[in-house]
């Protein structure tokens, strides 16, 4: 294979180290859990994700980085069991609350993340990672998914290398290094003998719900920090463009990547 001499796994690691979009820690996601939970339920994204999966009523699914149950809850209605893991305890509590409200009893939660030991988990047929692949070592994570799943793996990853619209980035004159784009994933899988399939899911942005203050706060969350000048430019952008974008929000595009194991 002509790609064999290229070490995409190491390229990803170096790229990830340099990006401005740094991973959030457990406390960050704990604080975000109550805000995220309502918007994550019953979305077109979930319907499209599940429609692309091959599942049956006897499957046991591992939901990695499950958040407040975005996929775990609807999947639990279709399969034998869902094992839901997340390194945010508050996210798991939100999931458990939604599951209880809907009378779902076949979800088991574990407060663990990508770097923890998964060997104690029960038999897993399918592993999914929905928008939860912000890992420092992509190859290690992909192999961990592939090893634990007996049938197939499914994940989504943001297309474009930026969580913030580049029109906003350019307007506020924020110097950034984009995060590694999704194409690393099928290439890493390919060089190790896995043939990935790629599709795409478009979701509407949540910009329609922003106030000026929450818009700036969201940018600060994504970038890690904003200078005083960047905050002023962000407020200016909000005043000039957000009303129009709230009426016609730009879609986010996610790469849906799947492979057999």
For the segment 96-132, what is each residue's pLDDT rounded down to a tens digit?
999 999 999 999 999 999 999 999 999 999 999 999 9
Q: Full-prediction pTM beyond 0.85?
A: yes
The end-to-end CA distance of the chain, in Å, is 20
Pull the structure tokens for residue 228.
Answer: 């005083």
Helix (H) or strand (E) holding 140: helix 138-148
Pull the structure tokens for residue 16.
Answer: 């990830």
pLDDT at 73: 95
Residues 154, 183, 33, 112: what is their CA dihedral angle, to the nearest 10 degrees? 60
73/54 Cα distance (integer angstroms): 17
pLDDT at 181: 96
* φ, ψ dihedrals at 217, nearest 5°: -60, -40
Instruction: Identify the burial level of 71 via C-beta atoms within 10 angstroms of its C-beta, where 0-12 means exposed, 13-18 middle and 19 or more buried.
Output: buried
207/64 Cα distance (integer angstroms): 27
Cβ proximity of 238 and 215 under 8 Å: yes
Find, among 146, 148, 147, 176, the residue nearest to 163 by Cα: 176
**How confident is the model over 144-184, as pLDDT tens digits?**
999 999 999 999 999 999 888 899 999 999 999 999 999 99
* φ, ψ dihedrals at 177, nearest 5°: -110, 120
């Amino acid at each position: 294979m002509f790609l064999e001499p290229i070490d995409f796994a190491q390229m990803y690691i170096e790229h990830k180290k340099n990006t401005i979009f740094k991973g959030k820690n457990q406390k960050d996601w704990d604080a975000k859990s109550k805000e995220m939970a309502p918007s994550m339920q019953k979305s077109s994204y979930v319907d499209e994700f599940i429609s692309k999966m091959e599942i049956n009523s006897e499957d046991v699914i591992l939901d990695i980085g499950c958040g407040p149950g975005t996929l775990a809850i609807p999947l639990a209605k279709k399969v034998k069991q869902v094992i839901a893991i997340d390194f945010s305890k508050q996210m798991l509590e939100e999931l458990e609350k939604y599951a209880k409200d809907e009378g779902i009893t076949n979800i088991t939660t574990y407060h663990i993340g990508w770097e923890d030991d998964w060997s104690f988990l029960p038999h897993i047929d399918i592993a999914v990672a929905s928008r939860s692949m912000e890992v420092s070592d992509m190859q290690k994570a992909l192999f961990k998914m592939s090893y634990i799943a007996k049938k197939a793996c499914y994940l989504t990853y943001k297309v474009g290398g930026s969580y913030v619209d580049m029109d906003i980035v350019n307007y506020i004159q924020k110097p950034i290094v984009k995060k590694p784009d999704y194409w690393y994933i099928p290439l890493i899988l390919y060089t190790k003998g896995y043939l990935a399939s790629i599709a795409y899911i478009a979701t509407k942005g949540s910009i329609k719900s922003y106030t000026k203050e929450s818009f700036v706060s969201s940018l600060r969350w994504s970038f890690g920090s904003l200078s005083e000048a960047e905050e002023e430019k962000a407020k200016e952008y909000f005043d000039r463009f957000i009303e129009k974008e709230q009426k016609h929000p730009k879609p986010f595009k996610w790469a849906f990547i799947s492979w057999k194991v």
